[in-house]
Amino acid sequence: MNDADSIVELIPRLRRYARALAGDRIAADDLVQDTLERAWSKLHLYRRGTDLRAWLFTVMHNVYVNQVRALRPVAQLDEDLPELAQPAREVDSLVLRDLDAAIRSLPPDQREVLLLVALEEMSYDEAASTLGVPIGTVMSRLSRAREKLRAMLSGLPPGGGKQLKVVK
Amino acid sequence: MDKESVAQEDAELKALSQALHQLYDPVLDEPVPARIITQARARRPLWRMAAIAAGWITLGLGTGMVAGWQLHAWRASAPLQAEMPGFVKRAAVAHAVYSPEVRHPVEVAADQEQHLVTWLSKRLGVKVHAPKLGDAGLSLVGGRLLPGESGPVAQFMYQSQNGRRLTLYVRAESSKHRETAFRYARDNSVGVFYWVDRDCSYALASADLGKEEMLRIATLVYKQLEQ
C-alpha cells in the first residue's frame, strides 16, 4: 500500500477527531483538508515504520493549534452558510448533547488530551508524543478536563435529561 | 490513591469513552467529501502535473505551500461551491456591480494611487497595497471602499489593454497568523480565487479572465503581498 492509500484509509479517523475537536462539520473538514495538505508537504519528516496515524494526528494538532491561536476567522467566513443537515448523528438524549457542549467548552489543550485518550484510545505515552508534551502534562490536563466535565454535567437540573429527551 | 478510587476512576473514564464513541463514531460512516479525498491523494507528481497544466511551472515551485495552492486551484471547484463563504459571494457581487461601469468604475482613480492606498489602509485598519500586475498585462484602474458584513472592505480594480477587468477584494481580519489554501469558486459568471493570509482575506474576482490566468495573477498578488 502506498502513502496515499494509507492516508486515505485514515481519513474517517481524522474526520472523527476533527469533528470532536473543531465542532461543526465545515470547520472540521477544513481542518482535515489543511492537515492533509500540510502532511504532504512534510511527508519527508515522517519516519517509515512508525505509526502513520499518530503522525497525522500530530500534524493535525499543529494545524489546529495555529488555527486556535488565530481565533478561528474561518467561523466568521462561514457565517452566511445555510445550516447543514447533520445526518447520522445519533445524539439521542440530552445527556449526550450536553456532553458535546461540555467538550466544546473545554480549553483546547484539555479537549485534545481528553479526546486522544478517551476517544482515540491512545495511551498517555502516545498522547504525549502526539502533542509533543511531557506525559505528566497529559495526565494533569486529562484530570482537569475530567474534573470540568464532571462539574458541568452534574450541574444539570435533576431529571432534566429525561424530560427533554429528544425523539429519535 | 487507593484501589477503590482507582477502579472508580477507570470505570468513569470508560463510561466517558463510550459516550464519546456514541457521539462521534457516526462520523466514521459519513461519506468523505471529495475535496478531502483529493487532498489525501495529492502526491507530488500530481501537483507538478497540475503546475504544468496551469502554465506557470516557470514561476518556480519553491515551497510546498505554493505547491499545495496550485493543487487547490487546479482541482475541480464543484465540491467547494456549496461552501462559498459570505465574503466570497460579496466579492463576486461587487465585481459584477462595478466592473461593467464605464464612467465610474472606481471611487479613487489610479493617478491618485498613493492617496487611495493610504485612505483604504486607514479605513480598514491594516496596511493594504495595490499589487502591481503589469506582468500579467493588467494596470490599476483605481479602488473604492465598500461595506462588508461587519465593516469596511476595499476593492481594487484592474484592467487589461483590451478592457478585461479583474477586482481584488480585501477584508481585514481581526486575528493574525491564520492562513488558508488557495480556493476557487464561481458565482454565476464570476470566478473567484480566495485565501486568507495573515491579517487579511483576499478574493480575486473576474468575469472576463479564465481560471488559469486568474491563478497566475493570484500567485502574483500573493507573492507581492508576502513581501
**Cell match 488558508: residue?**
B180
Q: Torsion over CA of B69, B73, B75 and B81, rounded to 10 degrees? A: 120
Q: Of the candidates B131, B117, B150, B126, which has an alpha carbon nearest to the alpha carbon of residue B198?
A: B126
Instruction: Return the pLDDT at B7.
Output: 85
If one counts every other C-beta atom within 10 angstroms of the C-beta of residue A49, the result is: 6
How many residue contacts between A and B have a Cβ separation below 8 Å? 137
More confident residue, A71 or A3: A3
In this complex, which of B17, B29, B178 lies closest to A73 when CB atoms are compared? B178
Per-residue pLDDT of chain B (227 residues; tens, 9 = 90+): 677 788 888 888 888 899 899 989 999 988 888 778 877 776 543 333 344 334 333 333 333 444 444 444 433 333 333 456 788 889 999 998 998 888 888 999 999 999 999 999 999 999 999 999 998 999 999 999 999 888 899 999 999 888 889 999 999 987 655 667 778 888 888 899 888 887 889 999 998 888 888 888 988 898 888 76
Residues of chain B with Cβ-Cβ distance to A70 below 8 Å are: 175-178
In angstroms, the separation between the Cα of residue B208 and the nearest Cα of chain A is 26
Mean pLDDT of A51-64: 90
Q: How far apart are CA A118 and CA A99, in angstroms?
A: 13
Residue A127, φ and ψ in degrees, nearest 5:
-60, -40
Task: Check: CB of residue B128 under 8 Å from CB of residue B170.
Answer: yes
DSSP strand pairing (B108-109 vs B152-160): unpaired
Residues of chain A with Cβ-Cβ distance to B181 below 8 Å are: 33-34, 37
Task: Check: CB of residue A165 under 8 Å from CB of residue A94.
Answer: yes
Residues of chain B with Cβ-Cβ distance to A103 below 8 Å are: 20
In this complex, which of B20, B28, B86 lies closest to A118 when CB atoms are compared? B20
Residue B210 cell numbers, joined: 479564465
Across the strands, what pairs with B153? B146
Instruction: Return the pLDDT at A96.
Output: 75
CB contact under 8 A, A40 and B19: no
In angstroms, the separation between the Cα of residue A162 and the nearest Cα of chain B is 17
In angstroms, the separation between the Cα of residue B36 and the nearest Cα of chain A is 6
Instruction: Return the pLDDT at B177.
Output: 52
Region of A135 on the Ramachandran plot (φ > 0 left; ψ -120 to 50 alpha; else beta): alpha
Residues of chain A with Cβ-Cβ distance to B180 below 8 Å are: 30, 34, 74
Q: How far is CA B3 from the centre of its chain?
A: 56
Residue A25 cell numbers, joined: 462539520
Mean pLDDT of A53-82: 68
In angstroms, the separation between the Cα of residue A44 and the nearest Cα of chain B is 11
Tell me the percentage of chain A whose pLDDT exceeds 90.
33
In this complex, which of A81, A115, A146 lies closest to B83 when CB atoms are compared? A81
- The number of C-alpha atoms within 13 Å of B78 and in the hemisphere containing its C-beta is 4
Shortest CA distance from B12: residue in chain A:
A146
**Beta strands per DSSP E along B73-199:** 108-109, 138-147, 152-160, 165-172, 183-187, 190-197
Instruction: Return the pLDDT at A68.
Output: 76
Q: What DSSP character marks residue B58?
A: G
Instruction: Return the pLDDT at B32.
Output: 84
Sheet holding B108-109, edge to edge: B108-109, B138-147, B152-160, B165-172, B200-206, B190-197, B183-187
In angstroms, the separation between the Cα of residue B11 and the nearest Cα of chain A is 12
Q: How far apart are CA A108 and CA B79, in angstroms?
A: 29
Instruction: Return the pLDDT at A93.
Output: 55
Task: Check: CB of residue B143 under 8 Å from CB of residue B107.
Answer: yes
Instruction: Return the pLDDT at B108.
Output: 92
More confident residue, A61 or B180: A61
Instruction: Provide the whole-model pTM.
Output: 0.48
Q: How far apart are CA A168 and CA B209, in angstroms?
A: 50
In angstroms, the separation between the Cα of residue B112 and the nearest Cα of chain A is 32
Mean pLDDT of A64-86: 51
Instruction: Return the pLDDT at B34.
Output: 78
Shortest CA distance from B19: residue in chain A:
A96
Residues of chain B with Cβ-Cβ distance to A149 below 8 Å are: 16
The predicted-structure confidence for A103-120, as pLDDT tens digits, reads as follows 988 999 999 999 999 999
The predicted-structure confidence for A152-161, as pLDDT tens digits, reads as follows 877 544 433 3
Q: How far apart are CA B80 and CA B193, in angstroms?
A: 12
Range scoring the smallest mean pLDDT among A46-60, A83-97, B185-199 = A83-97
Q: How far apart are CA B17 and CA A119, in angstroms?
A: 6
CB contact under 8 A, A40 and B26: no
Residues of chain A with Cβ-Cβ distance to B79 below 8 Å are: none
Residues of chain A with Cβ-Cβ distance to B16 below 8 Å are: 118, 146, 149
More confident residue, A97 or A70: A97
DSSP strand pairing (B152-160 vs B138-147): antiparallel
Instruction: Return the pLDDT at B59.
Output: 37
